[in-house]
Each structure stands twice: as structure tokens, then as C-alpha cells.
A and B are shown apart, each in its own frame.
Chain A
Amino acid sequence: MRMNLPLLVAGVALLAALPAVLPGGLLIASIQMLVAALFASAYGMLSGRAGMLSFGHAAYFGMGAFATVHAMNAFGGSGLLPTPLMPLVGAAAGLAIGVVAGWFATQRSGTTFAMITLAIAELLHALAPQLKGLFGGESGISTMRAPSLGLSFGSTTQVYYLTLVWVLLSIALLYFHTHTPAGRLTLALRENGHRLRFLGYNVHGLGVSAFAISAMFSGLAGGLQALSNEAANYAVFDAGVSATVVLNSYIGGVGSFLGPALGAALMTFFGYAVSDATQSWLLYQGVLFVLVMMFAPTGLSGLFGTGVRLVEQRGWRPAVFSALLVGGAAVLLTAGGVFAVELLQRLCSQDYRALAQAAAELPAVTLLGRPWSPTSVSTWMLPASLLACGTVLVFVARRRFGSAA
């Protein structure tokens, strides 16, 4: 994907205008989306461009978060490190531990590399609750954003702008990196590290540098999260944090530069939007990941690229038609699937089982503000017919557009 300047300016302008139009809750979600986007960009640089699949990036994110919290408590927003520069401490911490961890992990490649990264993150996760001074035990450490440089940093809007500036700057730097000799070499490292050695390159050094840069920006993302949350807890080292950044990046597509960032922003938004409405968000996240890997292994950005190619090859009309067809199929399948899952989830819940034991016949469950009886055929016909219609649309799309759809 080429960088399109008008599109870029419009995107930045849109992001800058968000605090004026969004309510507070959504603005906080936007901060989380920005942080997740930066974290995924840093991750995508390592796994997509340098070809190193890390399963323990929570370690660098978490170290960045804790380092920033400690720095905020130590400096209090005055002196050499005013509040807006605090994320730099997170970046420095990510870089430092990234050099050390990367030095070990990049001795190996493939599965062994992945296992080492996983082990390092798990080590920190197990160690953190024990080290009260450093990580605050199980409750973690809290802090305050101190006023600095004439700004209070008390409002969500100010935190949003601070986060936005850091995220845009970091993503721009990561993009710049792809055009430096070091950045080109990470591609060669992914393609064929063996050949690089016979061209005179120290492959281990290249691996450590790519790993450390990725860890540095992960640490910066962690620092931004700490700055926003005014706290850090050992849960940032959780394997779930490492897994989420992998899933986000691959759902967005590690093959393109902005893919991981968009994937992370999208998934974080969905997580925020539906976490109140459903208890099955993790299931949906997992199913989505599996589906993307099976049917669109290049991720959502790859899907977008396929659409662009379709327009170029066959013109607007068939492309829009096929997009509608595929989109319609996706909506129907999602609606049917979600309905079935939510129904089953309610039927299997403990509350419902207690109710069912007390009642003479199976009571109805409430979904979408309506009672649904589990014994009536129409309750099950709805998701079944949605799924069936969606499947038919998939077949139609396949026949019309072959593999391109």
C-alpha cells in the first residue's frame, strides 16, 4: 500500500477532531485504541517485517508501563522530565530490556525464538507479584499525572492529544525505519538470514537491533497506557496481553505497514463496544482470528488490497457488487452466529439452570429485549435461517468471483 498524502492528512485531521465530537467514554476508548495501534505497529515491525514471531511482547509493554509509573512518581512532572515526556522513560525501559531479551532470543529462530520470548514474558509475570518494591505486588502501583508546562493533564482531552502526538510520531518513525538501510536489512533477515551471513553481515546483531526497536516502541506504548491509567499492575505482563497483540496484528494484516495498527484499533473498539453487551467477547475474538487466518490470511488490509485489485481489473460495478455480496454474507453469518452463541450462553448460565430446576417447564430467556422459549422451533429457526442465507450468499459469491471474492 502506497502512502497517500491527502488520505494521510485527512486521517490525522479526523483523529485531531475526535475530542470535539466524542463523548468522554468513547474518548477514553480512543486513547486505548491509539495505544493498542502503536503496540501492534511495534509488534508488526518485528513479526511482519523482520519475520520473528514473538509470543511475549507483553514483557516490553509492561516494563514500559512500570518504568513510566516510577518516573512519574519520582519526578512529579517537574525538572528534566515534564509529564509530556514521560513516555520516553517507557521507551528507554523497553529498549533496555529489549536489548537484553533480544540478545538471548535472537540466538535462535522460528519455534525456539517464539518459546524464548514466551518464557521471558511468563518469567516477568510470575516474578512481578513477588517483587513488591518494583511492581507493587498484586495491587500494582498507582501514580498521578502532575501538571506540567502550564497544562494540567487532568482532562481526558489533554491525555488524548498527548497520546495522539506520541503515537503518530512513533508510527512515523517506524515508517521511516522501513526506508533506512537497517529497515531494508530486516526484510532480508526475514527472507534469508543464512545468505546475509555470507554477504558479511552480523545476523545476530541485526536481529537484536530489530528486536530492540520493536521492544522500545512497545515500551513507549506501555508508557502511554500508564500515563492514561495513572497506574500499572502486574497484569500487563499477562499472556493475554502478548496474545492480543499477535491476534490484532494478524487480523489487521502484518503484510502491510498500517495493517497491525488498524487491526488493533478495530479490535480494541469492538472490545470496548461489546464488552458490556456480551460475556462472549473473547470467543468472538478467537473465532474472528481463526476465520481471518483461514479465509484471508493476509488480514483485513490484505482484503482491502484484494478489493482494490478487483476494481482495477474488473471496474467499479462488479467490485461493489461483490463487496455487497461478501459484506451481506458476513452480516448474515455474524448475526446468526452471534444470536446462537448468545442464546446458548444464556441457556448454559448458572442462573438459568437454577431457574429451570425450579420451574415446571424450561423458562424463556431474554435477548434483544424479547423473550425466547428454548423449546419453540421459531427460536432456533431464526439463527439457522440467518446462517443458511449467509452460506448461500457465500456460495453465490464464490461462483461469481472465484477466488478473488
Chain B
Amino acid sequence: MTDGVKNEPILRIRGLRKSFGPVEIIRGVDLDLQAGERRALIGPNGAGKSTLFHLISGNLRPSSGEIVLNGQHIEGWSPERVNRRGLGRSFQITNIFPKLTVFENVRIAVMQRYRLQYAFWRRIERMAAIREETERLLERVRLQHQAATLGGEMTYSAQRSLELAMTLASDPQVVLLDEPMAGMSSEETQYTAELIREVTAGRTLLLVEHDMDVVFSLGERISVLVYGQVIATGTPDEIRSHQGVREAYLGEEHAA
């Protein structure tokens, strides 16, 4: 399986490794993401999907290998640097500001691009551009009616929508979503899948998800991570019929 690279990919990973003590979790990952594509990353539990996300987003420092985002080596960078370079991510476990309102949650995410973290002399309520952008984002994830609710008091799926809005607030070129549907009912899953498709249009998406229906419908291409290595990348059909993937991961009942 090759990636069929023609243009320079927006995210290029080569020979990425990560060990925790004697245990090697990521064992030489190669991965290319073309600008604008929607890629799903699947793999059995413990394959290293979340670890890979942590390495890309700067939460963990790789043991070796390279990560190139938009032509820039970012391996070992801090999360805030990676984010400012154009990569936004969500988390497997909801990661918001629970005691702040929904509006405030998104506004804090929006503010970053305006470089206001040390603005001690301006009232935030006076900043129309920030307010408008926050409102626009809330509308996109359909939370405008809950703007005054505390983040921690919303339903689980609404919190996931909120996190999506926060992830998009920095206007990232590359979006990493770590199991955005985990713990959702099938209706919520469908709703969220549509929402993700809609709001990530024009961006590059890398998505970890266990729900195979979501993976096959949302992912234009799929990469399979098994024991810290990408064993296959291809279209949903190619992955369904890939013998190695069926053995390693999907199991006979899914393939049948």
C-alpha cells in the first residue's frame, strides 16, 4: 500500500517511535496526510492511536522520528507551538472549562489568535470581532441557545460539540479528533458525524474512532494502526478487503 504522494503532504510522519521505559508503543509510524483530506485512524485497543495523537499535538515527545507540519519540523514542540502552527485537537475524555459558560469556553479559544493574553487595559466585552466570531462558532455547532449555560452542566454530546467549537476556534489547517463519538447514542453519533463533516470542510481531518459506520462514512481514506505500526492505508473498500487488516483487527464477523 502506498500513499500515492503527488503533492507535498500537509502532515508527514516518518519513522516515528515512542517508548515508555522498555515498552515501545509507537514502533516506526509513517503517515502522510494530504491537504483537505478526511482520514480515519483505526486499530485495536492499545495499538497506540491516542499516543500517536499525543506525539503529533506535542503532548508527548517522540523518542525518534520526524513529524513535519506544513513543511516545518514540529517533533518535540510544545502543544501551544504546535497549535499556533495550525493544528487543533480534541480529546478522548471531554476537556473543557467546566465552570465557565459555553460562550466563555469558546471565547477563550477564539481570543488566542488575537494575541490578547497580556492585554490588561482593554475590556473584553468591547471587542466586537471576538464576540461575533464566538457567536458564529456557537451557531455552527448549534449551541447558540446554550451560550449562558455552564460547560460542565450540559449533556455529554453537547459538551462534545462544545469541544469541537473550541478545537475549530484557532482556525487550524489540521484537525485531530480523538474518538469524538465515544459514549454517544446512535442518534447522537449520527448527528455528530454530520456536524464534523460540515465544520471540518476545507480542513485536513485525522480522526480516531471505534464506530465502524462512522469510520467508513466519514473517512475518505483509512489508516490501520496495529501494535504501533501503520499496516495499511486505503479507501474504505480497500481496507474492508485487506487480508492483513481482517486478520489483525476487523475479525471474521465484520468481514463476513
Contact = CB atoms under 8 A, between A and B. Distances in A.
Contact of A185 (B57, B88, B117): B117
B181 interface: no
Contacts of B119: 180-182
A199 B117 contact: no
A184 B80 contact: no
A196 B84 CA distance: 12
Nearest to B113: A200
B118 A199 contact: no
Interface string A169-182: 00000001101111
A198 interface: yes
A199 B112 contact: yes
Interface stretch (A186-194, A334-342, A385-393, A396-404): A186-194
B35 interface: no
Nearest to B166: A199
In this complex, the member of B79, B91, B113 whose beta carbon has the largest number of chain A beta carbons within 10 angstroms is B79
Interface in A367-403: none
B100 A187 contact: yes
A155 B63 CA distance: 69
B17 interface: no
Contacts of B125: 179
Interface stretch (B41-49, B102-110, B212-220, B248-256): B102-110
A38 B202 CA distance: 51
Given A188-B100, A200-B170, A181 B122 contact: yes
B124 A179 contact: yes
A205 interface: yes
A239 interface: no
A185 B119 CA distance: 10
Given A181-B122, A181-B124, A200 B116 contact: no
Interface in B189-243: none
A199 B99 contact: no
B111 A181 contact: yes
A384 B182 CA distance: 60
B156 interface: no
Contacts of A196: 108
A197 B117 contact: no
| Chain A interface mostly | helix
Interface string B67-103: 0000000000011100110001101000111111000
Contacts of A199: 80, 83, 108-109, 112, 166, 169-170
Contacts of B123: 176, 179-180
Given A192-B95, A195-B95, A201-B112, A184 B120 contact: no
A197 B80 contact: yes
A191 B57 contact: no
A206 interface: yes
A180 B170 contact: no
A191 to B, nearest CB: 4
Interface string B133-171: 000000000000000000000000000000000100110
Contacts of B20: none
Given A187-B100, A195-B95, A202 B80 contact: yes
Contacts of B57: 198
Contacts of B108: 184-185, 188, 196, 199
In this complex, the member of B99, B120, B122 whose beta carbon has the largest number of chain A beta carbons within 10 angstroms is B120
A201 B58 CA distance: 13
B107 to A, nearest CB: 7
A252 to B, nearest CB: 20
A179 B96 CA distance: 21
Contacts of A192: 95-98
A205 B115 CA distance: 13
A47 interface: no
A68 interface: no
Nearest to B126: A179
Contacts of A209: 117-118
A197 B95 CA distance: 12
A198 B111 contact: no
A9 to B, nearest CB: 21
A191 B100 contact: yes
A203 interface: yes
Contacts of B170: 199-200
Given A184-B104, A185-B108, A192-B96, A200 B121 contact: no
Interface string A315-343: 00000000000000000000000000000
Contacts of B117: 181-182, 185, 201-202, 205-206, 209
* CB-CB nearest 3 A-B residue pairs: A181-B116, A200-B83, A191-B97
Given A179-B125, A213-B120, 16 more contacts: A179-B123, A180-B122, A181-B127, A182-B116, A184-B111, A184-B124, A187-B100, A188-B97, A191-B99, A192-B97, A192-B98, A198-B59, A199-B80, A199-B108, A199-B112, A203-B80
Interface of A: 176-177, 179-185, 187-188, 191-192, 194-203, 205-206, 209, 213
18 contacts: A176-B123, A179-B125, A180-B120, A181-B114, A182-B118, A182-B119, A184-B104, A184-B108, A185-B108, A185-B117, A187-B104, A191-B97, A191-B98, A198-B79, A199-B170, A200-B113, A203-B80, A205-B117
